[in-house]
Amino acid sequence: MSPNEQLRAARLRTGSAEIPGEPLSRQELAERVNRWTFHRDGRITEVDGNYIGKLERGVIRWPQRCYREALRAILRVETDRDLGFHRPARVEHQPYCLGFVLLGELPAS
């Protein structure tokens, strides 16, 4: 897992409204994402500073589309790549997942 330096740099380039002269904090960015999604879609989201930290640390590499859209708008970038987000390669779905069987994929006895 590698850190998402592009997202972190974009956040640090953006000024804080709460503390003039300082960069945007993770929590402040999270609050802006929540406001943006609510104003755009009427959707209530619960992004917090911890989630933004996971994005920056590379724990989450491909956030939901509404979050990517909000982050692009707030951080004033054009593409997901500008924020270090890359769509994961498609994986072949396996018939078994975490100990339970998907319907229609029962093993032959």
> Which domains does the chain show, CATH number per domain?
5-89 (1.10.260)
Which residues are CB-neighbours of 33 under 8 A, at least 6 positions away? 45, 47, 52, 67, 70, 71, 74
- Rounded distance, CA 60 to CA 50, Å? 11
pTM: 0.80
- pLDDT tens for 69-86 read 999 999 999 999 999 999
Q: Look at residue 108 in the predicted model and tell me its pLDDT.
A: 53
Which residue(s) pair with 101 in the sheet? 96
